[in-house]
Amino acid sequence: MAKADNITQSTTTTTIENSLSAATANMTIATPTSNGHTSTPSKLDKPASTTAPTAPPTSALTQAALDFLKDFSTLSPAIITSHCTPDFTHSISPASLALPSRNLEEFKTHSARVYSLFSTWEIVPDTVFEDVGKSTVVAHAKMGGKVKGRALGDVDFWKNEAVFWIEMGEVEGRWMVKAVREFVDSKLGEELRRRLTGTAKERTLEE
């Protein structure tokens, strides 16, 4: 009988332990707060995410604008303008710089002159927004390049920053650049124009 009682007692103890474990698993544990009160976790509380958020894919509109800016590193007006529509226009702000707006051919000529002074050039966007309704991409970018010889006097590397308003147009199913408004650092813009003018005068005197 003693042996049977021991078996019954052991079985009862195991059953109680199992019941306590199940109850504990379903319990909500109260935790003390700084004011001495206790609080219980809300069912709305979500565990902290252990994975980094995934960046959304770049749209075709934005990618076309970024490809345009990237190709400035080629220093080739033909390659740069291959992204542009025939009625392309380029303008520079602020208006205080009094720089003219240029059509496609004028932009090619101007670009050829400017980029002939550099051995490298790069435009690196750091913030990009798109307005789908207006088919426009806005990009804030740092830009600069290595100067050839003394093309800009005693400067061997020129850098600036700008905000580009890039208006796109769809041509045969492809996004192309229709207009660019470039808002540059006016102080540096004026300095570059002064150096370009000075370089042109020096070349004239040398000739």
> What does the pLDDT profile of the chain (207 residues) look like in tens digits?
544 455 445 544 555 455 545 444 444 444 445 455 555 555 555 566 666 666 668 899 999 999 999 999 999 999 999 999 999 999 999 888 888 999 999 999 999 998 998 999 999 999 999 999 999 999 999 999 999 988 777 888 989 999 999 999 999 999 999 999 999 987 877 787 777 776 544 443 233
With a CB cutoff of 8 Å and minimum separation 6, the contacts of 192 are 152, 158, 160
Q: What angle do CA 142, 147, 149 make, to 5 degrees?
A: 170
* pTM score, whole prediction: 0.68
Q: Which is it for strands 174-184 and 84-93: parallel, antiparallel or unpaired? A: parallel
* Domain covering 60-206 assigned CATH 3.40.50.80 in the classification: no
